[in-house]
Each structure stands twice: as structure tokens, then as C-alpha cells.
């Protein structure tokens, strides 16, 4: 199993450009999510999905779109990049929650480092 | 308004000694707590977790303690090894929720 894969590893954009960060997992996980990591702020949830066709907003969704057409893929789209979106982006996935809400530790991809000039 | 706080940005300990990383939370609805470890240029990896029905969970050198009345948890690493040098994130979620709320992280340096 490759686990959670993310492409590209690095990206430089100009303000106003759009792009899609790719995320795929081969563990048949229901839940997938996107986080951004900024210095001193930990990881903040952008968007998440509990299954194909179902997405919802996290803590910091503005400026980002997602869709989930398959179980495996969960791309993150930046519609019009801004310098404030310079960050490291992580995709994560997990299996369904066990009875009682236990388990479900999330597996993270290696990250995409994005710079917006 | 941070719901999960790690007030120590960094910690330095001698190899072989105990490392204690602390985490505080404000949301009483949190039911499940996790610690993740992150090396530079890699994604976070799951380390250990604890449910709110327990006050301690142990896995080898790693032990997590939960004090619900104080809304505080801690990660103990004994003995600390240089390979433990990394950033440690505390995270929490509610019952039956997938959404994790992370703290800002503590950078641990274990000196040989």
C-alpha cells in the first residue's frame, strides 16, 4: 500500500492563479480531509469528506473548494491564490469510526509546500 | 480561540531522561485525544491516543495521561532517545466525530 499520496511536493504560484492539489489513498478509507500547517498555529482543518459525494467545511475553508467523486481521491482547489495561502498542506484519511467512537487515527500524506507570490 | 493549546513551543531533554509534553483543552465535548509526531518534510504520524473514559494509556516508552477535571493531558516519553526529536502535536475530537482539532505543537530536542 502506498498509503496517502500527495502531488505536487512543491508549488510556486502567482497571486490570482488557480491550481489543484491532488490527494489519493489506497486504503479504502471513508474519511478524508485537508489541513494547512502554518508556523505557531498547528494544523487547521480546511475541508473534509465522510464519503464519496459528501463534503463539508472545516475551520478555514475560505478560498478553497473540494469535491469527492471517488473513495480514493480528494483534490483541493485554490480558485484564486493569495499570499495568505502560502502554507504546507496535508491530506489525511481514516477508516470509519468503530462503535463508541473509538479508533480512527488519521493517516497523513507527506505534504505539499505552496508559496504564493 | 484555540480549543487545544500546547503552551510550550519547545522542550530540550537529555537522552535517557523523561520528556513530558503538555496539552490543555477547553471544549468539554472532546472525547478522544491523540498525539502525533512530525519530522521535518514529512506528514504527521499517529503515536498514541486515549479515550475520555480512561486516565492513562501506555504503549512501550510512551504514556499518555488524561485529567478530565483539569482538561489537561500529557505525553511522557521514557527513556527519551535522540530519534524522538520531532514536533509533537496534541489533537482532540468529539464523540463520533472525525474532525480533529490540533494544538500548535511542541518541538522536542533530545540531546545525546
CB-CB under 8 Å, B46 with A107:
yes
Burial letters A11-34, b for 16+ CB under 10 A, else e: bebeeeeeeebebbbeeebbbbbb
Instruction: Report pLDDT for A103.
Output: 58
Mean pLDDT (chain B, rounded): 94
CB-CB under 8 Å, B97 with A42:
no
Task: Give B52-76 pLDDT, tens digit per residue.
Answer: 999 999 999 999 999 999 999 999 9
Q: 10 Å Cβ neighbour count for B2?
A: 14
DSSP character for A104? -
Q: 10 Å Cβ neighbour count for B45?
A: 13
Cβ neighbours of residue B106 closer than 8 Å, sequence gap 6 or more: B6, B8, B9, B10, B11, B21, B22, B87, B88
- In this complex, the residue of B44, B49, B98 whose CB is nearest that of residue A97 is B98
- Going by their DSSP bridges, the two strands B86-94 and B30-38 should be labelled as antiparallel
Residue in A93, A82, A83, A112 with CA at minimum distance from that of residue A22:
A112
Task: Give A60-101 pLDDT, tens digit per residue.
Answer: 999 999 999 999 999 999 999 999 999 999 999 988 765 444
**Mean pLDDT value across residues A24-37:** 94
A and B: number of Cβ contacts within 8 A: 61
- Going by their DSSP bridges, the two strands A112-116 and A10-13 should be labelled as parallel
Amino acid at each position: 500500500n502506498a498509503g496517502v499520496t500527495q502531488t505536487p511536493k512543491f508549488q510556486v504560484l502567482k497571486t490570482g492563479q488557480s491550481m489543484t492539489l491532488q490527494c489519493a489513498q489506497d486504503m479504502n478509507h471513508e474519511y478524508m480531509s485537508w489541513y494547512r500547517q502554518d508556523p505557531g498555529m498547528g494544523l487547521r482543518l480546511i475541508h473534509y469528506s465522510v464519503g464519496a459525494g459528501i463534503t463539508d467545511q472545516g475551520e478555514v475553508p475560505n478560498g478553497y473548494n473540494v469535491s469527492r467523486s471517488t473513495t480514493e481521491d480528494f483534490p483541493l482547489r485554490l480558485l484564486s491564490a493569495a499570499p495568505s495561502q502560502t502554507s504546507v498542506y496535508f491530506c489525511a484519511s481514516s477508516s470509519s469510526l468503530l462503535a463508541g467512537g473509538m479508533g480512527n487515527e488519521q493517516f497523513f500524506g507527506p505534504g505539499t509546500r505552496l508559496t504564493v507570490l | 480561540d484555540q480549543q487545544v493549546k500546547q503552551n510550550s513551543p519547545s522542550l530540550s531533554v537529555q537522552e535517557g531522561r523523561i520528556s513530558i509534553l503538555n496539552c490543555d483543552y477547553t471544549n468539554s465535548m472532546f472525547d478522544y485525544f491523540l498525539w502525533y509526531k512530525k519530522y521535518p518534510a514529512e506528514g504527521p504520524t499517529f503515536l498514541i491516543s486515549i479515550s475520555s473514559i480512561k486516565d492513562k494509556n501506555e504503549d512501550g516508552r510512551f504514556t499518555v495521561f488524561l485529567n478530565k477535571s483539569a482538561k489537561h493531558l500529557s505525553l511522557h516519553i521514557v527513556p527519551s532517545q535522540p530519534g524522538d526529536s520531532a514536533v509533537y502535536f496534541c489533537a482532540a475530537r468529539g464523540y463520533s466525530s472525525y474532525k480533529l482539532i490540533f494544538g500548535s505543537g511542541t518541538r522536542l530536542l533530545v540531546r545525546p
